[in-house]
Amino acid sequence: MSNKILQKILIIEDDPGILNYLKTTVSAAGYDTITATDGNLALHMITSHCPDCILLDLGLPDMDGSDIITSVRKWTLTPIIVISARNSDEDKAAALDSGADDYITKPFSSIELLARIRTALRHSLTASGNKEIGIDGCYHVGELEIDYKKLRVCVRGEDVHLTPNEFRIVALLGKHPGRVLTYKSMLRELWGPSAPMDNKILRVHMASIRRKIEDDPTNPRYIFTEVGVGYRIAENTQETDD
């Protein structure tokens, strides 16, 4: 038996079948799991058990999952992954905007679920240090390099000549690898709270960015569209110790 302290995952889900599946999957991957089947119990467990990560179903019997996010975010940055049966993009975007870290739509594979959990846990460990950006001031993924000192993006060592706005978009995504940034949060971050909430401007810039950085812009490797929700930049999953 290992002496390592297990990371604790709180699963909030009222459907017994899905709860059982989640609990089995997460436990088998070596995490300690605790569960709650309604919102009030969930809030109690978050304060009393301090989980390392929360899996949250949005449709709970006594409250809406988004109320849990809002409430939890008043006092902790514990990563929250929304498990959504809702197909509405507005619901996903609202969950992310209210402070969820990620979402996953039912049905999903256990591989996908565990990958999202690992990403969420890694970010919670590095959130303050922004370890994603190396001491050279660059974020690397595959053959893409975002240089935060020289304010340029290179592919295979060649400057791809982004416009200033294009650079700002890529630079913002590069600070949150593997995470969905909603259109709304990006527009607000890039052009301020009074910016018009028009996703079209992002889509136009993104089309141009993809022509410059992707070998096949219709099948991107680096920046993915989460349809109706936002964008996600690929995560550098290589373990580097140097």
Q: Cβ of residue 78: shortest distance to Ca ion, in angstroms? A: 21
Quote the CA–CA distance of 204 and 172 in Å, as a whole number.
17
CA dist 172 to 22, 187, 196, Å?
32, 11, 18
Q: Cβ of residue 59: shortest distance to Ca ion, in angstroms? A: 4
User: Strands 152-155 and 158-159, how do they pair?
Assistant: antiparallel
Decide: 42 and 66 in contact? Cβ < 8 Å: no
Q: Cβ of residue 18: shortest distance to Ca ion, in angstroms? A: 8
User: Strands 80-84 and 102-105, how do they pair?
Assistant: parallel
**Residue whose CB is less far from Ca ion, 14 or 143:** 14
Among 36, 52, 55, 57, binds Ca ion (CB under 5 A): 57
Decide: 120 and 51 in contact? Cβ < 8 Å: no
Quote the CA–CA distance of 65 and 62 in Å, as a whole number.
9
Q: Cβ of residue 182: shortest distance to Ca ion, in angstroms? A: 23
If one asks whether residue 132 binds Ca ion (CB under 5 A), the answer comes out as: no
**Residue whose CB is less far from Ca ion, 57 or 147:** 57
Q: Is the dihedral of CA 183, 193, 73, 78 positive or negative?
A: positive
Stretch in the footprint of Ca ion (CB under 5 A) among 6-14, 154-162, 169-177, 202-210: 6-14
**Residue whose CB is less far from Ca ion, 60 or 181:** 60
Stretch in the footprint of Ca ion (CB under 5 A) among 1-9, 13-21, 45-53, 88-96: 13-21
Query: Which H helix or E strand runs over 168?
Result: helix 164-174
Stretch in the footprint of Ca ion (CB under 5 A) among 8-16, 36-44, 100-108, 185-193: 8-16
Among 7, 14, 21, 124, binds Ca ion (CB under 5 A): 14
Quote the CA–CA distance of 57 and 65 in Å, as a whole number.
6
**Residue whose CB is less far from Ca ion, 57 or 102:** 57
- Which residues ranging from 59 to 78 are in contact with Ca ion (CB under 5 A)? 59
Quote the CA–CA distance of 6 and 30 in Å, as a whole number.
7
Q: Cβ of residue 13: shortest distance to Ca ion, in angstroms? A: 6
Q: Under the rule (CB under 5 A), what is the footprint of Ca ion?
A: 14, 57, 59
